[in-house]
A and B are shown apart, each in its own frame.
Chain A
Amino acid sequence: MKQKPNFDFSQPNKLDRKALWLVLGNAFWGIFRSLWPIFVALAINGLPNKEDWKYAYLGFFAIVVLLIARLSINYFYYSFQVIEDELIIKKGWLNKSKTVIKLDKIHEVNLSQKLIHKIIGLYIVGVDTAGSSKTEITINGIGYSKALALKEVLTNTEIETTRETSEIHSEEETEQHIGEQTENEAISKPVVQQENISHNIVIGLSSLIKIGLTRNYLQTFGLLVAFSFQIIEQLRSFFSVDDEEASKYNEMIQEVNFERLGGLLILILILGLVLFIMLFNLGRTLLTYYNYKIQLKNKHLTVSYGLTDSHIIAVPSNKVQIFQIKQNYFQKLMNLFEVSIKQIESSENNKKKKGLIVPGANQAELKQIFEVIYQKDLDIKSKAYKPHKRILFLKFLWLCIPAAIALGVFYFTENLSYSWIILPFFVLIYFLIWCGYRNEKLYIEDDFIILKNGVWDISTTYLQINKIQKVTVRQSFFQEGKNLGSLDLDTAAGTVTLFYYDFELLQNLANELIYKIEKNKYKWM
């Protein structure tokens, strides 16, 4: 048993005292940011009369006092408490509001810190519920140990059940007694008996640097392509003289010059850009994921990371919807994986919730994480299926559309002599598509659908069958002859699409999946 300060959440709890400073600090920063031009103007120009200064001071003073009063009222009338299985938050002095959340509806509790929180030493507790984003709640400003205790209280519903089963196995106690005990413990001293089975994974600085240098290559490449057009255009306008004045011969010479000089410059620029983007990626990775620690308690994942803003996120294993690992060629050489653990997406702010990302775990650590979540081995034992080859032809046809459009543009702008540019792009993109086809593989295990795909970053998506919400079998008129089709597996964290596989396989798979879900009455959360 670990010694922990006792927090009583059954009584209304206030925010930490220092949180008032936090709120005030934020408010003053806000005022300063919006009013600084006025201050500057006043400081430089001054006011015509000395009398007027008085009013200015008075006005400013009044604003500040009102603001402080308002914020203090908000602060003093804010309270949170946990009664039985509900989290209750009360706000407001004249306009009172009360928010009640059932604990079993909470699917994630995370602690985070902005820079200012780090200075003062307080945490924000964010509570995510399964409903819409409107019901999401933040408790801004409580101390570390209290925040942790609150987190445990809020997430202890699972712990209760695991504890119950383990105790029933070990000693024959009466159910009533266990019920009482857990209830008491839940309120006063949550989770203490879990400490026995816990591993820690720390992602060191060297792994982070390696990952930072090797991730997001494709985006970088895309950026490069997008920028290269602009660079060429810029250079052209810089080097070329007015067309009308120069004769044709001169123009040719200039173009040759441009190609020699410009070529070198472009090379330097591109190299610089690559370097810049790599460093940028590295910096961002280090900043966000510095000091990354994962704690694996039975069926719980607790993660903490961050240099300036820190986050502590707890993920119960049964709330994980999709497990995805990514690896590119360089990362394969270094035995590093990028893991993303996807949870429920609320439909309103999809972009905000990308799920939990573990940058740079090695094979052994990956295995541990996977085992904690699914109690199963990561290795794939079943045989691989591949999409039908015709998809290459189909994508060829799709690729012809932009090529034709580009050709059309060249034709109508009378630049047909440049149209050879299309060909290398066409070949390059088709090569990438071919790589994507080569990498795509589908594995069907007893309780998992595993899909490998990707062009450069090869991702392996593990979808547990009981997380599937809905199955859609698709077949187009054109696919009927070859007996092909596709299958959408919709989950709460997005859709996994099996595109262009043998239709019979997909139909059988759909039947089997539905059968398994219905027969075993799997829960998805």
Chain B
Amino acid sequence: MFENDTVELNQIPHYQEVDFNSLHSDYVKILRMNAAITLFVGLAISTALFFVFEDFERFYFIGAVLFVFLNIAIFPLIAYKKKKYAFRQHDAIYSSGLIFKSTHIIPYIRLQHVVIKQGWYAKRLGLAALQLHTAANDNIDVTIPGLTLEDAERWKSYLVNRLQELEDETEA
């Protein structure tokens, strides 16, 4: 059968159609730990408020403090499912956010360096975070958390090699 599909003028790859990887399932343990610590701090502050002040109004404050801390603790536990990453041939994509969704795209040729970071609890679980730095300001660089250390190291060496390849291609 004869086919004549339309051809698009420039078939630019779409970042929206990429298959994203989810984070490692153990990552939620770190979040639970963080949540527990946050809740503990919140409770401590509430108890302090309870004993320091004597008016009835203190309960409003305590309620507000508990509410804020509860939110801070619970929110990441829900939002982490939205954290996803993908490595394409030419760029890394990381998307996150439950209410405010954001998708970061970093082309490999703009990478300055790649860093692996581990907290103490992540170390026990064998997890690590991969930081991708560009020449843009440091505070807006991308960190992909919840990778196993092995994966993080493999991705890192992949990125470094890929960066080298691309640089060689440009110079050639």
Contact = CB atoms under 8 A, between A and B. Distances in A.
Contacts of B104: 470-472
B110 A521 contact: no
A436 to B, nearest CB: 23
Contact of A470 (B101, B134, B139): B134
Interface stretch (B11-19, B29-37, B42-50, B64-72): B11-19
B8 interface: no
A84 to B, nearest CB: 20
A473 B15 CA distance: 10
A514 B102 CA distance: 16
Contacts of A130: 135
Interface in A463-508: 468-477, 488, 490-492, 494-495, 507-508
Interface string A328-356: 00000000000000001101001000000
B100 A524 contact: no
A476 B103 contact: no
B28 interface: no
A379 interface: no
B102 A472 contact: yes
A445 interface: no
Nearest to B137: A347
Given A475-B101, A511-B13, A495 B109 contact: no
A474 B140 contact: no
B110 A469 contact: yes
Contact of B136 (A469, A477, A518, A521): A469
B102 A490 contact: no
A473 B137 contact: no
Contacts of B137: 345, 347, 350, 490, 494-495
Interface in B91-117: 91, 98-107, 109-110
B83 to A, nearest CB: 15
A508 B15 CA distance: 9
Given A472-B102, A474-B101, A521-B166, A514 B91 contact: yes
Contacts of B136: 469-470, 490-492, 495
A473 B100 CA distance: 11
B170 interface: yes
Contacts of B140: 470, 472, 488, 490, 495
B142 interface: yes
Contact of B107 (A347, A492, A507, A518): A518
A492 B101 contact: no
A133 to B, nearest CB: 13
Nearest to B108: A518
A339 to B, nearest CB: 23
Interface residues of A, number: 35
Interface in B103-147: 103-107, 109-110, 134-142
B54 interface: no
B103 A472 contact: yes
Contacts of B81: none
A512 interface: yes
A202 interface: no
A521 B135 contact: no
Contact of A518 (B10, B14, B91): B91
A515 interface: yes
B90 interface: yes
A477 B79 CA distance: 13
Contact of B102 (A344, A474, A507): A474
A476 B13 contact: no
Interface string B160-172: 0000001001100
Contact of B134 (A490, A522, A523): A490
A510 interface: yes
B108 to A, nearest CB: 8
A511 B14 contact: yes
Contacts of B170: 521, 523
A350 B14 CA distance: 35
A469 B10 CA distance: 23
A518 B102 contact: no
Given A490-B140, A491-B136, A510-B105, A470 B169 contact: no
Contacts of A474: 100-103
A507 B100 contact: no
A366 interface: no
Nearest to B105: A471
A517 interface: yes
A494 B140 CA distance: 10
5 contacts: A469-B136, A470-B141, A473-B103, A477-B98, A514-B90
Interface of A: 130, 344-345, 347, 350, 468-477, 488, 490-492, 494-495, 507-508, 510-512, 514-515, 517-518, 521-525
Given A477-B98, A508-B12, A517-B109, 9 more contacts: A130-B135, A469-B135, A472-B102, A472-B140, A477-B99, A495-B137, A495-B140, A512-B12, A522-B109
Interface of B: 10, 12-16, 90-91, 98-107, 109-110, 134-142, 166, 169-170
Closest 4 CB pairs of A and B: A490-B136, A518-B90, A469-B134, A469-B136
